[in-house]
Chains A and B, each alone.
Chain A
Amino acid sequence: MTTVDQEGLESWLRKSRILVTVGSGGVGKTTTSIALALLGAKLGLRVGLLSIDPAKRLADALGIPLGSELSPVRLQRQVPGHVEAAMLDQKAVFDDMVRRFAPSTKAADRIFNNSIYKEVSTNLGGPLEYMALAKLETMLSQGRYDLIVLDTPPDTHALDFLARPNILHGFIENGVMSWMIKPFHLAQKLGAGAIFKAGGKVMAGISSITGMKMLKLLAEFLVLMEEVIVGFNRVGREVSVALKRNSTGFVLVSAPTDNAVRSAAYLLQELKTNQYPLLTVIMNRNLPFALQEAAEAWNQSDRHWTEIRPGFEVISRRHRYAATQAGKLAAQAQQLFGKSVPLLLLEEQRQMIHSEESLWQFTDALLKARQYQG
């Protein structure tokens, strides 16, 4: 059955224009994305890899600096294709977007100097990192890649956001822009005191908590960001259309723990609701197959070797637990997507991935993955 999977994997890589990996934190999602990119290059494809806030050690393993630029990955192993990767750093991407959408260089510079912008772009985690979707749009429009692998941030809300970049959406829907900006424009004409009259109780209420200076900074930030935000939203819409095409495939990554399987269940539901094409579910971090067989052998033996009991009990407990988790995940996937979506079980890696060599070892594990049979 391994060959079936290899063919499956190969055809997914060949047929897809975009592969999106989703999953909760700590399940090996970024590693899986990189491995898919490497396998694509092995098949001779020109691959673009986008990873958002990856671990530095993974960026180091590929020899790619964290930033906003795509750089060619110089692989030590000879392969017919190639990989260009961007290991995106939130601030770098945000700066890029401002440069691109701000009405002038001068306006961009004012945004860069706004202290709220500085705070938001460096320190604010969460939804803003999805601005990286803009990078995806650029890559799609360039047509330089046969395959783009998109690694999403570890967040169970990720899909929700792909469908509708919602913080900015909510921002505009709820009229914050006009509510905040109009009084500010007025204030510029009439003097600062008018801010309170124009914004009414709401602004006065907030300013009694945060202080006036903060409000002014925020208002300035919003005025400056207006066009940038409109640009963000347009890009967000275009990308979410691209992600629903047939040539896009989603790969859900999980691990054999209650927690990871629960997160995977939420994500499966969101994939279904948003009608994203799911190709496969991957469960990382399973005991090596030989070890699983040893655990089975232990369970079937009379276990009379007391000196090795402590170790084997741990191994066999992990084995049983992982099997239960795989069963749960498979049942959930099948309930929502039928039998068309296979669950692939991967062996755990001895070491955390830290070098190109260990990434290739991970691709081997991917190729050797066993399909869950029930």
Chain B
Amino acid sequence: MQDLFSELLNKRLVMVTGKGGIGKTLTSFALAQKASAMGKRVCLVESSAHDQLAPLFGSEPIGHNLRELRPGIYVINLNPQDNFRDFVIKHLGFATLFQKVFTRPMVRSFIQMMPGIAELTLLGRLYYFSELDVEDRFDLVILDGFASGHFHSLMKTPDAVMHSGMMGPVIEETKRVRDFIADPQKTAVVLVAVAEDLVVSEALDFVGKLQAETPAQLAGVMLNRSFPPLPGNLNPEAYPANLVPGLEYWRERAASEQAAITRLQDGLAEFRSKFNKDLPVYQFPEFGAFSEPVPKDELLAWMQAAVRV
């Protein structure tokens, strides 16, 4: 059976973004589980001040150390300083230079100050894990990405660096990274949203900007937290009075979600005619809550219940 997500998960790199607090991390985690269930070797990446992925596996924070937290799923929380080191040593191949120069505290400070360096080395590391890493040989890399605004600047970084006046190996690498991100066969960006009026507005705004201003390859919208369908002929009087607020809430949710989905579809139709590109919408049921560590079966069942709108 052709699975809803098999095309997406056959890429080399999937980057997940969306408004803050909307379920990006859980979605990335679920995609990784799904890919792993398909037999893939997965590298699940975040770049946050504090680990958010590891706790979903029931693990202690792991930081900038690649760990296999479930069979076939490797996790890492990349931080800018270590990324820079790995980028220079593993990616550019300048180990001696790094030892001599970049370990000095003042150089570390200097590096922090260089514009776009954190973004650039993050992209470089993703490219490395996807294409160059002969040791680990991942089939798929999934980035639990930044919130939409920051993600948009991340995707603009390669072009910004190439026009910055820099020269040398960094520019050559940046070109390769840019080509990789721009390749629809290899990379995909997934936007996570919920069916709520203003979230939909922001999402439509974001996809238009990302498409117009960056080489990123949008592959779809995942609508989280869709409430179960309202039963037909619901008569509140048939139930005890203390349940009625629940029924009212349900009715309102169902109506506002439907309105938001209609708006999203209209907006995406506009997107299609403007950019000649189809963005599928996947709807995920509202589960209520997942507690950590998230059981694999619960998560796979949740993904199984997803539908294409």
Q: Distance in Å from the Cβ of A283 to the closest Cβ of chain B?
A: 13
Interface pair A213/B167, CB less than 8 Å apart: yes
Q: Distance in Å from the Cβ of B16 to the closest Cβ of chain A?
A: 15
Give the contacts of B126-173 with A (CB-CB under 8 A).
Answer: 147, 150, 153, 156, 160, 164-171
Interface pair A209/B246, CB less than 8 Å apart: no
Interface pair B115/A123, CB less than 8 Å apart: yes
Interface pair B168/A211, CB less than 8 Å apart: yes
In the complex, A3 has a CB within 8 A of chain B: no
Residues of A within 8 A of B5 (CB): none
Q: Distance in Å from the Cβ of B170 to the closest Cβ of chain A?
A: 6
Interface pair A209/B168, CB less than 8 Å apart: yes
Q: A116-B115, A297-B243, A311-B228 are in contact. Are A180 and B249 (CB under 8 A)?
A: no
Interface pair A294/B244, CB less than 8 Å apart: yes
Which chain A residue has the least Cβ–Cβ distance from B196?
A352
Give the contacts of A195-210 with B (CB-CB under 8 A).
Answer: 201-202, 205-206, 208-210
Q: A156-B49, A210-B166, A213-B167 are in contact. Are A311 and B160 (CB under 8 A)?
A: no
In the complex, A157 has a CB within 8 A of chain B: yes
Q: A176-B106, A293-B242, A321-B288 are in contact. Are A310 and B198 (CB under 8 A)?
A: no
**Interface residues of A, dominant DSSP:** helix
How many Cβ-Cβ contacts under 8 Å join chain A to chain B?
183
Give the residue of A202, A294, A316 whose beta carbon is less than 8 angstroms from that of B245: A294
- Bound state CA distance, A20 and B171, in angstroms? 42
Interface pair B169/A209, CB less than 8 Å apart: yes
In the complex, A338 has a CB within 8 A of chain B: no
User: Chain B 272-309 against A: per-residue CB contact (8 Å), 1 yes, 0 no?
Assistant: 00000000000000111101100000000000000000
Give the residue of A202, A208, A214, A354 whose beta carbon is less than 8 angstroms from that of B164: A214
In the complex, B116 has a CB within 8 A of chain A: yes
In the complex, B105 has a CB within 8 A of chain A: yes
Interface pair A315/B246, CB less than 8 Å apart: yes
Interface pair B170/A210, CB less than 8 Å apart: yes
Among B6-14, B68-76, B94-102, B215-223, the stretch in contact with A = B94-102
In the complex, A350 has a CB within 8 A of chain B: yes
- Bound state CA distance, A174 and B112, in angstroms? 12
Q: A208-B97, A313-B288, A351-B197 are in contact. Are A123 and B170 (CB under 8 A)?
A: no
In the complex, A175 has a CB within 8 A of chain B: yes
Chain B residues with a Cβ closer than 8 Å to the other chain, count = 70
Give the residue of B105, B239, B289 whose beta carbon is less than 8 angstroms from that of A318: B289
Q: Distance in Å from the Cβ of A116 to the closest Cβ of chain B?
A: 6
- Bound state CA distance, A351 and B160, in angstroms? 37
**Best-surrounded residue of A27, A176, A218, A263 (most CB of chain B within 10 A):** A176
Q: A174-B105, A205-B97, A314-B228 are in contact. Are A298 and B113 (CB under 8 A)?
A: no
In the complex, A227 has a CB within 8 A of chain B: no
Interface pair B246/A311, CB less than 8 Å apart: yes
Interface pair B20/A25, CB less than 8 Å apart: yes
Residues of A within 8 A of B22 (CB): 26
- Bound state CA distance, A167 and B109, in angstroms? 8
Residues of A within 8 A of B101 (CB): 201-202, 205-206
Among A44-52, A140-148, A300-308, the stretch in contact with B = A300-308
Which chain A residue has the least Cβ–Cβ distance from B153?
A123
In the complex, A317 has a CB within 8 A of chain B: yes
User: Chain B 242-284 against A: per-residue CB contact (8 Å), 1 yes, 0 no?
Assistant: 1111110110100010000000000000000000000000000
Q: Distance in Å from the Cβ of A369 to the closest Cβ of chain B?
A: 19
Residues of B within 8 A of A112 (CB): none
Give the contacts of A327-351 with B (CB-CB under 8 A).
Answer: 350-351
In the complex, A279 has a CB within 8 A of chain B: no
Residues of A within 8 A of B211 (CB): none
Residues of B within 8 A of A317 (CB): 287-289
Residues of B within 8 A of A170 (CB): 109, 112
Interface pair A156/B50, CB less than 8 Å apart: yes
Chain A residues with a Cβ closer than 8 Å to the other chain, count = 75
Interface pair B245/A213, CB less than 8 Å apart: no
Q: A120-B115, A352-B198 are in contact. Are A290 and B49 (CB under 8 A)?
A: no
Interface pair A297/B20, CB less than 8 Å apart: no
Residues of A within 8 A of B197 (CB): 351-352
Q: Distance in Å from the Cβ of B251 to the closest Cβ of chain A?
A: 9
Residues of A within 8 A of B227 (CB): 311, 314
Residues of B within 8 A of A307 (CB): 231, 234
- Bound state CA distance, A143 and B42, in angstroms? 57
Interface pair A119/B245, CB less than 8 Å apart: no
**Best-surrounded residue of A206, A308, A310, A320 (most CB of chain B within 10 A):** A308
Residues of A within 8 A of B108 (CB): 174
Q: A214-B165, A293-B245 are in contact. Are A209 and B170 (CB under 8 A)?
A: yes
Residues of A within 8 A of B247 (CB): 308, 311
Q: Distance in Å from the Cβ of B106 to the closest Cβ of chain A?
A: 4
Give the residue of A260, A266, A291, A297 whose beta carbon is less than 8 angstroms from that of B21: A260
- Bound state CA distance, A207 and B249, in angstroms? 61
User: Chain A 60-79 against B: per-residue CB contact (8 Å), 1 yes, 0 no?
Assistant: 00000000000000000000
In the complex, B104 has a CB within 8 A of chain A: yes
Residues of A within 8 A of B243 (CB): 294, 297-298, 301, 308, 312
Which chain A residue has the least Cβ–Cβ distance from B250?
A311
In the complex, A155 has a CB within 8 A of chain B: yes
Q: Distance in Å from the Cβ of A291 to the closest Cβ of chain B?
A: 5
Q: A170-B109, A351-B196 are in contact. Are A205 and B167 (CB under 8 A)?
A: no
Interface pair A324/B291, CB less than 8 Å apart: yes
Interface pair B115/A124, CB less than 8 Å apart: yes
Q: Please, could you name 21 A-B residue pairs with CB atoms under 8 Å apart, sorted by A?
A: A119-B115, A167-B109, A167-B113, A170-B109, A201-B101, A205-B101, A209-B97, A210-B166, A210-B168, A211-B166, A213-B165, A258-B291, A262-B50, A288-B249, A308-B243, A311-B227, A311-B230, A315-B246, A315-B288, A317-B289, A352-B196
Additional pairs, 4, CB under 8 Å, beyond known A175-B106, A209-B92: A57-B198, A218-B114, A322-B289, A351-B198
